[in-house]
Amino acid sequence: MDLSGLRQKMERMVELTSEELSSIRAGRASPELVWDISVDYHGTHARLRDLAMISVPEVRIIHIQPWDKSSLSPIAKAILKSDLGINPIDDGNSLRLDLPPLSEERRVQLSKLVRKKMEEGKVRVRNVRRDFISDLRKELKAKETSEDEYRREVTEVERLTEEFIAKLEKRGKDKEEEIMEGS
């Protein structure tokens, strides 16, 4: 079996979880907070990052400049529907999001959300491991590999799984610290 393919799949699961974590607000404005908000634009769903230029002119402000001014209202509606809890300020040409400081209660909620996303990421990595080991078992039953090779590869798969789960835990811990420290 191809362990480099396994490594790539596990790395992708870590990247996916990291992207989800980057969309969790941590006190500072960041374009990633709104990038993946789904906007109903002329009957289709588009990501906000595909409809507008997103910038952070100040620590607690996100500025959204749509490419098409007719998308301003749908973008504002999508932001209101999102879990950001922020009312966009519409100046007729662009939107401004003023991020208030996080309350202690909200920090605790966001930390719980980070832990939930981390568990989901670990499950993804473990599912990749499970599928790979299942394929190894099939090879063993079909006598395409030896018992020793099977054990050696399973040991390596377990080592890779631990490595990627440790990466996830570090990213989750970093995100929780970012949330709890405030700004």
CATH assignment of the domain containing 124: 1.10.132.20
The string of pLDDT tens digits covering residues 126-139 is: 999 999 999 999 99
Beta carbons of 153 and 4 less than 8 angstroms apart: no
* Domains contained in the chain, number: 2
pLDDT of residue 153: 93
User: Domain check: are 91 and 144 in the same one?
Assistant: no
User: Domain check: are 108 and 170 in the same one?
Assistant: yes
User: Domain check: are 172 and 136 in the same one?
Assistant: yes
pLDDT of residue 89: 87
User: Domain check: are 15 and 38 in the same one?
Assistant: no
One-letter-per-residue 3-state SS of 73-102: HHHHHHHHHCCCCCCCEECCCCEEEECCCC
Q: 162 or 180, which is more confident?
A: 162
Of the residues 98, 132, 157, which one is the last residue of a structural domain? 98
pLDDT of residue 182: 57
Q: Check pLDDT > 80 for residue 92.
A: yes
Residue with tokens 């063993």: 140
User: Domain check: are 172 and 113 in the same one?
Assistant: yes
- How far is it, in rounded angstroms, from Cα 172 to Cα 3? 26
Q: Containing domain of residue 33, as a range?
A: 29-98
User: Domain check: are 170 and 111 in the same one?
Assistant: yes
The string of pLDDT tens digits covering residues 106-126 is: 888 888 989 999 999 999 999
- How far is it, in rounded angstroms, from Cα 181 to Cα 74? 34
pLDDT of residue 1: 61
pLDDT of residue 172: 92
Distances (CA, A) of 140 to 67, 143, 149, 154, 170: 56, 5, 9, 12, 35
